[in-house]
A and B are shown apart, each in its own frame.
Chain A
Amino acid sequence: MTRTKMTTAAFVLALAAGAAGAKDTGYVFVSSENDNAVTVLDGKTWRVVKTIPTGHRPRDMRLSPDRMLLYVVSSKNNRVDVIDIAHLKVTRSIPVGEDPEMFDLSADGKRLYVSNEEGAQLSVIDVASSKAVARVEVGEEPEGVRVSPDGKRVYVTSEVANMVHVVDTATNNIVANVIVGNRPRRFAITPDGSEVWVSNEMGARVSIIDAGRNAVKGNVDFKPKGFRPDDVTPVGITMTRDGKTAYVTLGRANHVAVVDVASREVQDYLLVGKRAWGVALNRDESQLYVVNGLSDDLSIIDTRSRKVLRSVHVGRVPHSVVIDD
């Protein structure tokens, strides 16, 4: 009896604390494709705080600009679920078209740009009304989506056409198609918007697009020791806020590459888990989080020493990671 009361009291306290501190919760969110859930970890202990049920096959995630909400795409339900971070539950769902995979949010948080893998479209969704503003026809199997820092462009990859489509956000028309490497997947953009980096899953390479000319101006090739090019399959990519360092996950090669952006040189390869895809930095960029889809875990890396601090078990086939610290 006493114990129940105490637990209840603790729970209420925790809830109150959670609600008051909805910002900067310190939580680490991991979507797991085969669990239909987002796992919430404590950012300090990396223990599981909660598992939030979502739609089927949750994949890409984004925080709202005010960091009060977490958007999670649910591929099998053709929607984006909105998680209220204060209460750690889905409060709303936005229909976004057939088989969505990756997406981005405009800087003001008003529009979602979603790639529809089966429909070969980019859907532009008004968040407030949950209505599609535009559907842009793109090459087969669109994947990575990223809004430029100035908000004027949105970049989309087509895995089959081997292209990056450059879409004008004012008109929602394609203004350029850039042929890149094979099976282009995801993006990182330099803070000034001048360089768009795109990972090519086949070909062990990142293509660098000159955003002014919409043309490829260079490549970064990955050759971790002991792997043949076939086994090096770059997918996830992120960049530090100062635009100096890029981190690229190498899929089957089970490593993360650390790249100096200016010289385009690979400085290091860090061993992580199996089929490393999703990658994110924490706010002060002291830690890098990598999700390993085939070993069902999360690798946490200290960016200064470039050491893996811990591997944490998460759900089945983890896809993306977002840190709210």
Chain B
Amino acid sequence: MEISLRHPLGRVMRLLAVLGGLAALLPAAAAGAGTVRIVHLEIDGDPRYEETRLARRALAQPLGRPHAGAEVAIREAQFVGKAVGVDFTLERVTGADAKPLIAAVERLHGQGVRYFLVDAPAAVVAELARAVRSRDLLLFNVSAADDALRQTQCQPNLLHTLPNHAMTADALVQYLVSRKWRSVLMLEGPLPDDHLIAEAFERSAKRFGVKIVEKKPFVLSNDPRQRDQGNVALLTAGSDHDVVFVADSDGEFARSVPYRTVRPRPVAGADGLVAVAWHWAWERNGAPQLNSRMEKQAGRRMADSDWAAWIAVKSVVESVVRTQNADFPAVVKYLKEGDVTIDGFKGNRLGFRPWDNQLRQPILLATHNAVFERAPIDGFLHPTNNMDTLGFDRRDSSCAL
């Protein structure tokens, strides 16, 4: 039976899944098999990838579905896979909301699949993660930056490769401090996600000693009755400040802020200078080669969630290869506790924080066509790892794994 499982895996697996009763036998058998299946889950009609929104090519916004990043990583893995006798495969499952995705994860888990990439908004990630909490599998959150997923909603089998809001806010604030730009006017949008970004920025400002001199709500509107909230000149005419920070999860308003401020002040947050996981203009640490593989694969540039999906697959591959395709618990142990070295093409070796399963990583500070700095910024020190000056350090964590 074990031998018959090796090839052709997909068909046999499907057949066995139909047989149902046999599914329970599969996990043990699959561990020794020569195929490691990685499944990418996504939401049909996810508003974040809506066409007009992608067409704006806003900073800190996706440029397409992150599945393309996972495909790049799978291609990279083929050679090393062959050399160690493992075939890494990528499958794609699309569902309308959390329910069909939960059903798919349960079905695939029954077939021996252990690695899932989740490309979904935070609410779906949380619901899915809760539903499969007790399963021996790994979910990699690749596109939800919400802090709560790393804090109160954290769980042992949920890993995050995308930096969360607290990490990007800390990176930006470290940069502001390094420039001695210490007073900020904050413009906050009406969406719940705008509020989460604003909260993360306020936390960082307090942490690193930046003063928010004024906080104003904005709306996307030409209605004269809402002039005070829709007009950048009116919004920026109050107390003096060094920088304008725009908390805008959507990015449409933010792009109209630079050059419309009353005072000549730099804009940061969702436009101007942004803190990102990846940027196509990053040119060190092998980045040009990765960018060119992405462009060949997807016909477009790589953005944050593409990078997060790419590094999630790389994390699985690295752990499977280094443990010589050991059984699942040994791979997880290596990935989460071992001396794992994940190469994110950002110069540092990356690994998951044991207290909340967030991938620690440098953050890039970028404009539309250049990377200015890589955080942690020089001088922001940490007793063990300077990357832990970004986001939730162990003592800031309310996650109990």
Binding site for B on A (CB under 8 A): 99, 117-118, 120, 137-141, 158-163, 177, 179, 181-183, 202-203, 228-230, 233, 252
Contacts and interface: CB of A to CB of B under 8 A. Distances in A.
A271 B286 CA distance: 25
B76 A182 contact: no
Interface in B79-126: 79-80, 83-84
Contacts, number: 60
Interface in B210-258: none
B321 interface: yes
B341 A117 contact: no
30 contacts: A99-B289, A117-B289, A118-B289, A118-B292, A138-B79, A139-B79, A139-B80, A140-B76, A140-B79, A141-B286, A141-B289, A158-B79, A159-B286, A159-B343, A161-B76, A161-B79, A161-B83, A163-B80, A177-B83, A179-B80, A179-B84, A182-B341, A182-B343, A183-B286, A202-B341, A203-B341, A228-B385, A229-B349, A230-B348, A230-B385
Nearest to A275: B284
B80 A161 contact: yes
Given A138-B79, A161-B83, A228-B386, 8 more contacts: A139-B79, A140-B76, A161-B76, A162-B80, A162-B318, A177-B83, A182-B349, A203-B349
Interface footprint category on B: 20 to 34
A202 B386 CA distance: 16
A155 to B, nearest CB: 15
The 6 tightest CB contacts between A and B, nearest first, are A177-B83, A161-B80, A139-B79, A182-B341, A140-B76, A202-B349
Interface in B270-297: 286, 289, 292-293
Query: Which of the listed residues A138, A230, A252 has the most CB atoms from chain B within 10 Å of its own CB?
Result: A230
A28 to B, nearest CB: 27
B292 to A, nearest CB: 6
A203 B348 CA distance: 9
A322 B84 CA distance: 37
B76 A183 contact: no
B349 A230 contact: yes
Contacts of A181: 341
B293 to A, nearest CB: 7
A138 B75 CA distance: 13
B182 to A, nearest CB: 28
Contacts of A163: 79-80, 83
Contacts of A183: 286, 343
Interface string B49-76: 0000000000000000000000000011
Contacts of A179: 80, 83-84, 321-322
Nearest to A161: B80
Contacts of B348: 230
A159 B385 CA distance: 24
Contacts of B76: 140, 160-161
A202 B343 contact: yes
Nearest to B292: A118
